[in-house]
Chains A and B, each alone.
Chain A
Amino acid sequence: EVQLVESGGGLVQPGGSLRLSCAASGFNFNYFAMHWVRQAPGKGLEFVGSITTNGGSTYYADSVQGRLSISRDNPKNTLYLQMRSLRTEDTAVYYCVKGGSGTKWDLLEDWGQGTLVTVSS
Protein backbone atom coordinates (compact mmCIF):
# COMPACT_ATOMS: atom_id res chain seq x y z
CA GLU A 1 0.00 0.00 0.00
CA VAL A 2 1.30 3.43 -0.95
CA GLN A 3 1.91 5.66 2.07
CA LEU A 4 2.97 9.28 1.93
CA VAL A 5 3.47 11.05 5.24
CA GLU A 6 4.17 14.77 5.23
CA SER A 7 5.82 16.58 8.13
CA GLY A 8 7.46 19.89 8.94
CA GLY A 9 4.46 22.19 8.75
CA GLY A 10 3.73 24.85 11.34
CA LEU A 11 3.59 28.55 12.03
CA VAL A 12 6.22 30.78 10.44
CA GLN A 13 6.55 34.54 10.13
CA PRO A 14 6.40 36.32 6.79
CA GLY A 15 9.82 36.26 5.17
CA GLY A 16 10.74 33.10 7.04
CA SER A 17 11.74 29.65 5.87
CA LEU A 18 10.49 26.14 6.37
CA ARG A 19 11.32 22.70 5.01
CA LEU A 20 8.63 20.11 4.47
CA SER A 21 9.39 16.41 4.21
CA CYS A 22 7.40 13.54 2.77
CA ALA A 23 8.28 10.00 3.80
CA ALA A 24 7.26 7.50 1.14
CA SER A 25 6.68 3.76 1.53
CA GLY A 26 4.85 0.90 -0.15
CA PHE A 27 6.35 1.49 -3.61
CA ASN A 28 9.71 1.85 -5.31
CA PHE A 29 10.34 5.54 -4.69
CA ASN A 30 13.18 5.66 -7.24
CA TYR A 31 10.83 4.90 -10.14
CA PHE A 32 8.25 7.64 -9.67
CA ALA A 33 8.15 11.37 -10.18
CA MET A 34 6.79 13.26 -7.21
CA HIS A 35 4.73 16.42 -6.81
CA TRP A 36 3.56 19.00 -4.31
CA VAL A 37 0.06 20.47 -4.42
CA ARG A 38 -1.34 22.97 -1.93
CA GLN A 39 -4.75 24.12 -0.77
CA ALA A 40 -5.36 27.37 1.07
CA PRO A 41 -7.99 27.15 3.83
CA GLY A 42 -11.44 26.86 2.26
CA LYS A 43 -10.04 27.24 -1.25
CA GLY A 44 -9.26 25.09 -4.25
CA LEU A 45 -6.21 23.11 -5.28
CA GLU A 46 -3.03 24.72 -6.58
CA PHE A 47 -0.17 22.89 -8.24
CA VAL A 48 3.16 23.79 -6.59
CA GLY A 49 5.79 21.76 -8.42
CA SER A 50 7.15 18.46 -9.66
CA ILE A 51 10.43 16.57 -9.62
CA THR A 52 11.45 13.73 -11.91
CA THR A 53 12.71 10.34 -10.73
CA ASN A 54 16.39 11.24 -10.41
CA GLY A 55 15.80 14.88 -9.52
CA GLY A 56 17.23 15.97 -12.83
CA SER A 57 14.25 18.12 -13.73
CA THR A 58 11.94 20.25 -11.65
CA TYR A 59 8.89 22.30 -12.56
CA TYR A 60 7.25 25.06 -10.55
CA ALA A 61 4.16 27.20 -10.57
CA ASP A 62 4.89 30.83 -11.37
CA SER A 63 3.60 31.84 -7.94
CA VAL A 64 6.40 29.95 -6.15
CA GLN A 65 9.23 30.05 -8.69
CA GLY A 66 12.46 31.20 -7.04
CA ARG A 67 11.11 30.87 -3.49
CA LEU A 68 10.17 27.20 -3.19
CA SER A 69 12.35 24.34 -4.32
CA ILE A 70 11.76 20.62 -4.54
CA SER A 71 14.38 17.94 -3.95
CA ARG A 72 14.46 14.27 -3.18
CA ASP A 73 16.68 11.73 -1.42
CA ASN A 74 16.04 8.41 -3.14
CA PRO A 75 18.03 6.22 -0.70
CA LYS A 76 15.94 7.70 2.12
CA ASN A 77 12.64 7.50 0.19
CA THR A 78 12.00 11.12 1.06
CA LEU A 79 10.71 14.14 -0.84
CA TYR A 80 11.39 17.70 0.31
CA LEU A 81 9.94 21.15 -0.22
CA GLN A 82 12.26 23.96 0.82
CA MET A 83 10.28 27.14 1.36
CA ARG A 84 11.93 30.57 1.59
CA SER A 85 10.73 34.18 1.66
CA LEU A 86 7.33 32.96 2.76
CA ARG A 87 4.28 35.15 2.27
CA THR A 88 0.89 35.12 3.95
CA GLU A 89 -0.58 33.79 0.70
CA ASP A 90 1.55 30.65 1.07
CA THR A 91 -0.65 29.60 3.98
CA ALA A 92 -2.10 26.24 2.95
CA VAL A 93 -2.20 22.52 3.44
CA TYR A 94 0.67 21.07 1.42
CA TYR A 95 0.11 17.66 -0.12
CA CYS A 96 2.83 15.26 -1.26
CA VAL A 97 1.69 13.35 -4.35
CA LYS A 98 3.10 10.31 -6.10
CA GLY A 99 3.16 10.36 -9.89
CA GLY A 100 1.95 7.64 -12.20
CA SER A 101 3.94 5.01 -14.07
CA GLY A 102 5.94 5.51 -17.24
CA THR A 103 4.51 8.18 -19.53
CA LYS A 104 1.96 9.03 -16.84
CA TRP A 105 4.72 10.36 -14.58
CA ASP A 106 2.84 13.64 -14.19
CA LEU A 107 -0.42 12.03 -13.10
CA LEU A 108 -1.32 13.00 -9.51
CA GLU A 109 -2.04 9.43 -8.55
CA ASP A 110 -1.63 8.97 -4.79
CA TRP A 111 -1.88 11.71 -2.18
CA GLY A 112 -0.63 12.10 1.36
CA GLN A 113 -2.87 13.59 4.06
CA GLY A 114 -1.10 16.94 3.97
CA THR A 115 0.67 19.24 6.40
CA LEU A 116 -0.52 22.73 7.29
CA VAL A 117 1.77 25.72 6.83
CA THR A 118 0.61 28.98 8.36
CA VAL A 119 2.45 32.18 7.49
CA SER A 120 1.52 34.89 9.95
CA SER A 121 3.08 37.45 12.25
Chain B
Amino acid sequence: EIVLTQSPATLSLSPGERATLSCRASQSISNSLVWFQQKPGQAPRLLIYDASIRPIDIPARFSGSGSGTDFTLTISSLEPEDFAVYYCQQSYNRPPYTFGQGTRLEIK
Protein backbone atom coordinates (compact mmCIF):
# COMPACT_ATOMS: atom_id res chain seq x y z
CA GLU B 1 0.00 0.00 0.00
CA ILE B 2 1.24 3.45 -0.90
CA VAL B 3 1.48 5.66 2.18
CA LEU B 4 1.16 9.44 1.88
CA THR B 5 2.65 11.65 4.58
CA GLN B 6 1.53 15.27 4.75
CA SER B 7 3.42 18.05 6.50
CA PRO B 8 3.02 20.06 8.52
CA ALA B 9 0.04 18.70 10.43
CA THR B 10 -1.04 22.26 11.18
CA LEU B 11 0.01 25.48 9.47
CA SER B 12 -0.77 28.85 11.05
CA LEU B 13 -0.68 31.82 8.69
CA SER B 14 -2.35 35.18 8.14
CA PRO B 15 -4.51 36.28 5.19
CA GLY B 16 -2.33 37.52 2.36
CA GLU B 17 0.55 35.19 3.22
CA ARG B 18 1.81 32.34 1.06
CA ALA B 19 1.03 28.77 2.11
CA THR B 20 3.15 25.75 1.18
CA LEU B 21 1.82 22.28 1.99
CA SER B 22 3.78 19.10 1.42
CA CYS B 23 2.81 15.52 0.56
CA ARG B 24 5.35 12.72 0.35
CA ALA B 25 4.64 9.25 -1.09
CA SER B 26 6.26 6.04 0.16
CA GLN B 27 7.10 5.08 -3.44
CA SER B 28 7.14 6.82 -6.78
CA ILE B 29 3.66 7.64 -8.07
CA SER B 30 4.71 9.65 -11.15
CA ASN B 31 2.31 12.62 -11.27
CA SER B 32 -0.70 10.70 -9.91
CA LEU B 33 -1.43 13.06 -7.06
CA VAL B 34 -4.65 14.88 -6.21
CA TRP B 35 -5.37 17.65 -3.69
CA PHE B 36 -8.68 18.31 -1.91
CA GLN B 37 -9.91 21.08 0.35
CA GLN B 38 -12.41 20.38 3.13
CA LYS B 39 -14.17 22.99 5.23
CA PRO B 40 -15.96 22.12 8.48
CA GLY B 41 -19.27 20.37 7.89
CA GLN B 42 -18.72 20.19 4.14
CA ALA B 43 -17.72 17.55 1.65
CA PRO B 44 -14.22 17.68 0.19
CA ARG B 45 -13.66 19.73 -2.95
CA LEU B 46 -11.28 18.80 -5.77
CA LEU B 47 -8.50 21.39 -6.12
CA ILE B 48 -5.70 19.87 -8.19
CA TYR B 49 -5.25 16.62 -10.12
CA ASP B 50 -2.32 15.05 -11.98
CA ALA B 51 -0.15 16.96 -9.49
CA SER B 52 -0.54 20.33 -11.19
CA ILE B 53 -3.78 20.60 -13.16
CA ARG B 54 -6.41 22.93 -11.77
CA PRO B 55 -10.11 22.47 -12.68
CA ILE B 56 -11.60 25.56 -14.30
CA ASP B 57 -13.60 26.57 -11.23
CA ILE B 58 -10.58 26.63 -8.90
CA PRO B 59 -8.95 30.04 -8.33
CA ALA B 60 -5.51 30.62 -9.85
CA ARG B 61 -3.95 31.26 -6.43
CA PHE B 62 -3.96 27.46 -5.94
CA SER B 63 -1.13 25.61 -7.66
CA GLY B 64 0.38 22.16 -7.43
CA SER B 65 3.81 20.83 -8.28
CA GLY B 66 5.99 17.77 -7.94
CA SER B 67 6.44 14.28 -9.31
CA GLY B 68 7.76 10.97 -8.12
CA THR B 69 7.51 11.05 -4.35
CA ASP B 70 7.45 14.74 -3.39
CA PHE B 71 4.55 17.08 -4.03
CA THR B 72 3.57 20.59 -3.00
CA LEU B 73 0.35 22.56 -2.87
CA THR B 74 0.90 26.32 -2.88
CA ILE B 75 -1.64 29.01 -2.12
CA SER B 76 -0.02 32.22 -3.33
CA SER B 77 -1.95 34.72 -1.20
CA LEU B 78 -4.34 33.38 1.41
CA GLU B 79 -7.95 34.49 1.37
CA PRO B 80 -10.14 34.12 4.49
CA GLU B 81 -12.08 31.28 2.82
CA ASP B 82 -8.89 29.24 2.28
CA PHE B 83 -8.55 28.27 5.93
CA ALA B 84 -9.53 24.61 5.91
CA VAL B 85 -8.10 21.10 5.94
CA TYR B 86 -6.20 19.93 2.85
CA TYR B 87 -5.76 16.30 1.83
CA CYS B 88 -3.59 14.70 -0.80
CA GLN B 89 -4.58 11.44 -2.48
CA GLN B 90 -2.63 9.13 -4.77
CA SER B 91 -4.27 7.81 -7.92
CA TYR B 92 -1.45 5.59 -9.11
CA ASN B 93 -2.25 2.44 -11.04
CA ARG B 94 -5.83 1.54 -10.05
CA PRO B 95 -8.05 1.71 -6.95
CA PRO B 96 -8.01 1.27 -4.01
CA TYR B 97 -6.29 4.61 -3.47
CA THR B 98 -4.98 6.20 -0.32
CA PHE B 99 -5.16 9.64 1.26
CA GLY B 100 -2.72 11.59 3.36
CA GLN B 101 -3.71 12.36 6.93
CA GLY B 102 -4.40 16.03 6.16
CA THR B 103 -2.92 19.45 6.90
CA ARG B 104 -5.00 21.93 8.87
CA LEU B 105 -4.48 25.49 7.66
CA GLU B 106 -5.54 27.87 10.42
CA ILE B 107 -5.62 31.61 10.88
CA LYS B 108 -2.71 32.97 12.86
Q: B59 contacts the other chain (Cβ, under 8 Å)?
A: no
Q: B28 contacts the other chain (Cβ, under 8 Å)?
A: no
From A109, which residue of chain B is reached at the shortest CB distance?
A: B46
Q: B99 contacts the other chain (Cβ, under 8 Å)?
A: yes
Q: Which residues of B contact A50 (CB under 8 A)?
A: 95-96
Q: Which of A80-108 contact B (CB under 8 A)?
A: 95, 100, 104, 106-108
Q: Which residues of A contact B102 (CB under 8 A)?
A: 44-45
From B46, which residue of chain A is reached at the shortest CB distance?
A: A109
Bound-complex Cα distance A50 to B96 (A): 8
Please list the residues of chain B having a beta carbon within 8 angstroms of any beta carbon in chain A: 1, 34, 36, 38, 42-46, 49, 87, 89, 91, 94-102
Please list the residues of chain A having a beta carbon within 8 angstroms of any beta carbon in chain B: 35, 37, 44-47, 49-50, 59-62, 95, 100, 104, 106-114
